[in-house]
Amino acid sequence: MQAEVIVVTSAYGYDTVRAMGGQAALLPIIAASGADGVEIRRELLNRDESLPGLAEQIRACHLSCVYSSPTPLFDPTGTPDLHGLTERLDEAAQLGARLLKLPLGHAPDNPGLAGLEGLLRAGDIRLLIENDQTSEGGTPAPLLRFFQAVQQQGAPIGMTFDMANWHWLGEDKAQAAAQLASFVEYIHVKASRERDGKVHAVALDEAPDTWAPLLPLLPTTVPRGIESPLLGDDLAAVTRGYVNRLRIPTA
């Protein structure tokens, strides 16, 4: 069985997205690449952009939709941001997204998730929590505690596993995959490399050793999102090359 391949709009670069007038301009490129879906980024939305209008264009391109927001699930006091979650779920519904991706934030060690469940079970949108580049939401320990609580309480929440974000925090990617693979429902395929003492996201071909060995350690049938930089004169062709590579079953 082949995995669904999603293209993350931020892979084309914030400057490119803005120069093209917004994420809608990328949809024909992503469709021409043969990808199955698009990940829309809240931080890249234009202020005057209509979410229902963008949803119509996504449907016209025959793409599925993932919606991503940088707003954490838990605020700095360890309280679930139910107001923010309600707003993000509404935005995701307007986009026709089936997945909503958020960072964890400051989750308490033993989070009570009953308040979240009511919101999440009221619709058809699945909430996914991604490991980000913060110590509170990007290291294995708090994520493992959170997902164990999710499992114990039967909350409808899964994980987005970002392959490269561990690198920014000096974490062992393979170890993180071993600990968290059972919770993973979406993979951000992203390569990284250190340059001038800093970690940078790079094209997948530039650092295959930072992502390819992880694929067999993670669920092989969940969607794979391309988040590494997509650059070139023919963006559809560049994207198509990676889409085809990520479709190849690994098991």
- Which H/E stretch holds residue 51? helix 51-60
Q: What is the pLDDT along the chain (251 residues), one digit of tens a residue?
A: 678 999 999 999 999 999 999 999 999 999 999 999 999 999 999 988 899 999 999 999 999 999 999 999 999 999 999 999 999 999 999 999 999 999 999 999 999 898 898 889 888 999 999 999 999 999 999 999 999 999 999 999 999 999 999 999 999 999 999 999 999 999 999 999 999 889 999 999 999 999 999 999 999 999 999 999 999 999 999 999 999 999 876 44
State the CB neighbour count (10 A cutoff) for residue 109. Answer: 10
Give the list of residues 6+ apart from residue 33 with CB closer than 8 angstroms, or none: 7, 236, 237, 239, 240, 243
Terminal-to-terminal C-alpha distance of the chain: 9
State the CB neighbour count (10 A cutoff) for residue 102. Answer: 26
- Locate 81 and state its tokens: 């941001």
- Locate 112 and state its tokens: 């009570």
**pLDDT at residue 1, rounded to an integer:** 67
Contact 205, 231 (CB under 8 A): no
In angstroms, the CA 151 to CA 139 distance is 19
